[in-house]
Each structure stands twice: as structure tokens, then as C-alpha cells.
A = this chain, B = another copy of it.
Amino acid sequence: MIREQTMPAISAEPPVAFRPLRIPQVAVNGFWGEHIDAVANKTVDILYERCLAAGMFDQIDPTRPVPEMRLPFRKNQYGVMDTITAQMFWDSDVAKVIEAAAYALYRRPNPALEAKMDGIIEMFAGLQLEDGYLNSWYIRMQPGQRWTNLRDCHELYCAGHLMEAAVAYHQATGKRKLLDAMMRYADHIGRTFGTGPGQKPGYCGHEEIELALVRLARETGERRYLELAKYFVEQRGQQPHYFDVEAAARGENARGSWPASLHADFRYTQSHVPVRQQQKVVGHAVRAMYLYSGMADIAAEYGDSSLTDALEILWDDLTGKQMYVTGGIGPSASNEGFTDYYDLPNDTAYAETCASVGLVFWASRMLGSAPDRRYADVLEQALYNGALTGLSRDGSRFFYDNPLESHGQHHRWDWHKCPCCPPNIARLVASIGTYIYGVSDSGVAVHLYADSVAKLEVAGAKLTLTQSTDYPWDGAVRLTLGLDRPTRFTLSLRIPAWCKDAKVSVGGENVPVETGSSGYLEIERQWRDGEVVEMALPMAARPVRAHPKVRQDTGRVAVARGPLVYCLEEADNGAGLNSVLLPRGLGGMATAPIAEFGGAVSLSLPALREDEGAWSAELYRSDVPGLSDTTARFVPYYLWDNRAPGEMLVWVRSST
């Protein structure tokens, strides 16, 4: 459903009703502008330097000596399998750096950065084989073994990220070198995989190639890439199971020791049954999100309601039973993914940054047919909380996993041995403009509120849409329409489900806020140049309680304000955050700017605190602990661990 607005239609019957804008169509200021600046001015350089320091280019650059072989699945000092020092998916990490850098180049020209990216692209181009194959691991480290282990070795996943990078870099710079290389590689992949004679009926253990081929198809107008993406989506989970066949060909027990043990029932890779039969969100969280994004793309391009039906079941399954209040997903480290319904532990939450980034991808694709706040609200929730938390405020440090409670041991990384998250959150932030609007032939949907200026076309008119807002700190949004001529179209404004008593006026006249099932206020009228829509989305702090089956949140309450989930930090409240109790209904709230964080808003709430001072050596006792009045100071969750290290807590005990 994501379509580049200027690209040719490649589908026979394109059912994509609402298309996002291209990144350069939206100039983003305010809250997101600062984050984009951090990425453009700092993060992308850091990413490049840390890839360099990690030795990634030693592997990729064909002009350098082949580095010492490292076993992909070696054991660490404790005998635990340690995959994430493997180099086999480094192509993907470097590709995401190129993609983030491409978006950063829209923000400001940066010849030095562009030269670095050109240099990396030269490496890949020099690496590519005559037949189009392009993967640094299998060309340089394990030659002769290509396409022998799709289950574990991320080969098509790497190809997908390079395709995304190629599309982004072409759009940003007009340079075709990587795009041409990836078209040749895509054609090689198309010859290699399929159900025809002599082809391998395989697909990747880590989904990504599917959505990437759709992007490549949209950028190049070549329908064959769309067909290939459709093949990969539809072949998944067919019998006989390709990963069994492939393992047998390697002479391995198909479901034996690790890593095969992860694949005992193929849920880990969402290949346990064909995709249209999948009804529960299972397995590795990032893989699931990328698959569903690809499914949504194919559903949109082919108008395939059977895929959409499956996606809606999966959406309700995820958001109704398996999602943290932060939009984090995938609670377990052992499979980097999903476990049981309502199993959402806080202090051990994995909730990988990449998984929330992937949820944003999926949610945005679910908005292609019509505005629907079921999707846009979760997009916003995952964006501001589960995803953005992965990037420090200054753009220099990263979270990989995102617990909702820390006893002081969890901190941002300079880098990670599996460096997937840093470039993933960077490319999302740098491309945030594309998530704000959906544009159809006869209307504009405002999915996100963000200070920005967008230039687009609707109903044949040129429209400049200026959002002036201090969102997410304040719910006042002023939309000014610049039109080259009076034009009738529908302006659809998301009224977030968290917002009570939203007010909307057009030209100073109040409009009844009736949203129907979509959750969008649709205003269809003849719009004129200079007209102003004003919105007031009240942002009182609200308590959030979890379903009683979420045992880890029993008797606890989270605090949210607008799209932001808040947390307690030791820096504001001292140690022992589990001694803090909020009243059953939140009491009088005070907001105040957070001195260290520019315009960010803290919340102060009356609370009680249990006396912990009387405890000494005993482990158990009968005394009822004393309680005293206190004020609990909350800060946005995405900002945690940007100050002095210490405890953090999202789900705070509630008085009864």
C-alpha cells in the first residue's frame, strides 16, 4: 500500500486508496524535526564509524584481504550458542545505514556522508558476481555454499535490505549504481527461486525480501519483482517444508540441535502453515512484522482480500493479547519473539526496538485502504514509545531490548554485537514525514500530528498543508491549507482513542466531532486557500490498566499522556520505585518542563510511598509497612536512561 506518489502504477487494479507522501514532500519541524536533525547530524556518522570499527567493510570490500573466518554459530565462554557475532547478516546492517543516510540527505546536503555511501556502494558493486549474485558472506567467507541454508543464514534478508537501500539512495541522490546492481540480483533471485523446473521452492527464514521486492517494483515499475514477492509470500509454509528438504540436503537432522531446535515446529519463522491460514502471531517478532508488512503490500497490489482477512485476524491477535502498552512486542529473549497470550513480563521484556519499528511498518500498510484509527493509534503508540526509545535523545546511543522495568542494570549501548536496531530506528526517524499523511484521489487523511509543511496534490489541486503544533507536548494543532484553487475534498482527521472531548473548528466555526467506526473526523467540503482548521486534543494524564490476564501488571497502573507512555526514573524519585503507590484514580496532575530535555513535559502526581527503612536482615516479617504522602514525578518512557543511570518503572503499583 506504500506507493511512491510519482511512480508508475504497476498493478492491473491498484486498490491502494491512501498513499503516503514521499519523504521530501514533508518538511518536518518541532519534535520530530529535532530527532531527524539528531539522526542527520550525528547518528548516520556514528553508524558508519561503528560499522567500520566492527570490521564490516573488511568483509564487504573485495579489494581487501578476506578476513579470518568466524564461525557463525560459535559458543561463547559459557557454552551458550552465540549467533550474534556472526558476520553473515552484516550486509543488511550496512544496507540500513545506506538507507538512513539517504533519508538524512533530504534533511541537509552532506557531500562527505554521500561520498562515504558511494564508497560502500562501490564495494558492493565490485563484489557482485557475473550472474548477479551479491552477498558478501557467501562470496567471501563461505564461497560455494550459497542458497544452502535459507532457514538460518539471512541470505535473502540481506538482499532485501540492500534493495531497500538501493531504492532509497536512488530516490535521494538519483544515483543508479546500487539500484542497477540490485535489479540484477533480484533477477538472479527470480531465476533461482520458484516452483518451476530447476528452481528452488524456498524462501527466507527471516522475512524482508517480500516487502523489499515490492519497493523495488514500485521504484522501477517492473512487475516481475512484484510477482517474485508474491511467490515468496505464498510459498511460505507449504509442504513438503522447504527447511526440512534443505536440511536433509545438508545432511542434517532437520529438527535436531540448535539452531534447528528453534525450528521444531517452524513457528519461529512463521512458516508453520501457509500465510493465509495463520491466525496467531508467533515466533520471532521482527520476522513476523516484516512478513505481515509484505503480506499487506501484496494484498494491496493484488487486491487480495484473503490476505487482508488473515492480516486483520493477526492484527487483533497482536494488539489484543500480545502487545506491551509501549507498543513493544515479543516478550521473550530466547526466541526474540512471542510466547503465550497475556505473557508480558516487564523487567525481562525483550521488546526489541526493531520489532516496534516493524510494527510501525505494518500499521502504516494497514492504512492503505482507508483511514482507521485501530491502525494509526497503534502506529503512533509503537512509534513514540516502543521504537523511539531505541535512540538516545542526542542520537548517539541505542537500546536493543526495551524492558518496562529496570532495577538499574539496563543501559543504552554505544553499539551492539547484533547491530540491527541502530540503523533501523535511524531510518524510521529520518523518514518520519512519510507516515504523517495518507492521500487518496479525493482526500487527505492526517494520521499523525507533527509540526510540518507538506506539499501534495489532491483532487487535481496543489495543496500545501501546514501543521503548527507543539505535539506531543500539547494537543493544540493548527492546520493551514494553501491551495492553488478552491477544491472539494475530504480532510480526515484522526481523533485518537485516548482523547476525550476533542474539539475541531474550521475557520473558527466548531465542527461536531463525530468519527464513526473509523475514528477519523471526515470533513468533506470545498476548501479554499488560507483556510484554517484548529484542533484541541486534550492531554490529561490518564491511568492505563492491563487486562487481568496480564498477571505481571496485576494491581498496577501505567500513566500516559497523549501518545506518550510515562515512567518513573530513579533520577527523579530515588531508588525503590516499587514502593511508590498511585491512588486508584489519578489525583491532581501538574505538568512541568524537564530542564534537561528542552520542551519535554514531566508529570507530577500525588502518591504514597511505603516505608522501606525498617527492613534489615530479615527476609520476611508480619509488620504492615508505613505509608507517607509523596509526589511521583513521571517522565516520558522514550526519554528514560538519558540521565543518571538507575531504576525505571512503567507499571506502578496502584492503591486500592
Binding site for B on A (CB under 8 A): 75, 77-80, 255-258, 260-262, 264, 316, 319-321, 323, 325, 347, 407, 542-548, 550-551, 554-555, 558, 576, 578-579, 581, 584-585, 608, 610, 612, 615, 617-625, 627, 653, 655-656
- 15 additional A-B pairs beyond A75-B261, A545-B624, A558-B620, beta carbons within 8 Å, are A78-B261, A79-B257, A316-B617, A320-B617, A320-B618, A323-B619, A544-B620, A547-B615, A548-B610, A548-B615, A555-B578, A555-B581, A585-B624, A608-B656, A627-B656
Residues of B within 8 A of A622 (CB): 542-545
* Closest chain B residue, CB of each to CB of A342: B619
Check if A264 sits within 8 Å of B618, measured CB to CB: no
Closest 9 CB pairs of A and B: A79-B261, A554-B578, A548-B612, A655-B656, A79-B257, A542-B622, A78-B264, A555-B653, A544-B620
A320 to chain B, nearest CB (A): 5
Show 24 A/B contacts (Cβ-Cβ < 8 Å), sorted by A: A75-B256, A78-B264, A79-B256, A79-B262, A79-B264, A323-B619, A325-B620, A407-B551, A543-B622, A544-B620, A545-B620, A545-B621, A545-B623, A547-B615, A547-B619, A547-B620, A548-B615, A550-B619, A554-B578, A554-B653, A558-B620, A608-B656, A655-B656, A656-B656
Check if B619 sits within 8 Å of A347, measured CB to CB: no
Residues of B within 8 A of A579 (CB): 548
Cα A619 to Cα B544 in complex, Å, equals: 10
Say whether chain A's binding surface is mostly helix, strand, loop, or mixed: loop
Cα A322 to Cα B551 in complex, Å, equals: 23
A619 and B578 contact, Cβ closer than 8 Å, known pairs A257-B75, A258-B79, A548-B612? no
A543 and B624 contact, Cβ closer than 8 Å, known pairs A323-B619, A347-B551, A656-B581? yes
Check if B546 sits within 8 Å of A619, measured CB to CB: yes
Check if A547 sits within 8 Å of B578, measured CB to CB: no
Cα A262 to Cα B316 in complex, Å, equals: 41
Residues of B within 8 A of A610 (CB): 548, 656
A619 and B320 contact, Cβ closer than 8 Å, known pairs A77-B264, A543-B624? yes
Q: Which of B257, B320, B576, B623 contacts A548 (CB 8 A)?
A: B576
Residues of B within 8 A of A257 (CB): 75, 79
Residues of B within 8 A of A545 (CB): 620-625
Cα A612 to Cα B547 in complex, Å, equals: 8
Residues of B within 8 A of A255 (CB): 77, 79
* Closest chain B residue, CB of each to CB of A381: B620
Residues of B within 8 A of A615 (CB): 547-548
Cα A605 to Cα B110 in complex, Å, equals: 71
* Closest chain B residue, CB of each to CB of A581: B656
A80 and B551 contact, Cβ closer than 8 Å, known pairs A320-B617, A618-B320? no
* Closest chain B residue, CB of each to CB of A261: B79
* Closest chain B residue, CB of each to CB of A498: B622
Cα A272 to Cα B321 in complex, Å, equals: 44
A577 to chain B, nearest CB (A): 10
Cα A267 to Cα B258 in complex, Å, equals: 25
Residues of B within 8 A of A617 (CB): 316, 320
Q: Which of B258, B543, B555, B619 contacts A321 (CB 8 A)?
A: B619
Residues of B within 8 A of A624 (CB): 543, 545, 584-585
Residues of B within 8 A of A550 (CB): 619
A79 and B653 contact, Cβ closer than 8 Å, known pairs A320-B617, A624-B543? no
* Closest chain B residue, CB of each to CB of A550: B619
Interface centre among A544, A547, A576 (most CB of B within 10 A): A547
A78 to chain B, nearest CB (A): 5
Residues of B within 8 A of A584 (CB): 624
Residues of B within 8 A of A551 (CB): 347, 407, 578
* Closest chain B residue, CB of each to CB of A260: B79
Cα A218 to Cα B347 in complex, Å, equals: 50
Residues of B within 8 A of A656 (CB): 581, 608, 610, 627, 653, 655-656
Residues of B within 8 A of A320 (CB): 617-619
* Closest chain B residue, CB of each to CB of A584: B624
* Closest chain B residue, CB of each to CB of A322: B619
A583 to chain B, nearest CB (A): 10
* Closest chain B residue, CB of each to CB of A627: B656
Cα A316 to Cα B618 in complex, Å, equals: 9
Cα A249 to Cα B597 in complex, Å, equals: 60
Check if A261 sits within 8 Å of B618, measured CB to CB: no
Cα A5 to Cα B320 in complex, Å, equals: 66
* Closest chain B residue, CB of each to CB of A263: B79
A335 to chain B, nearest CB (A): 11
A618 and B547 contact, Cβ closer than 8 Å, known pairs A78-B261, A581-B656? yes
Cα A258 to Cα B548 in complex, Å, equals: 39
Residues of B within 8 A of A258 (CB): 79
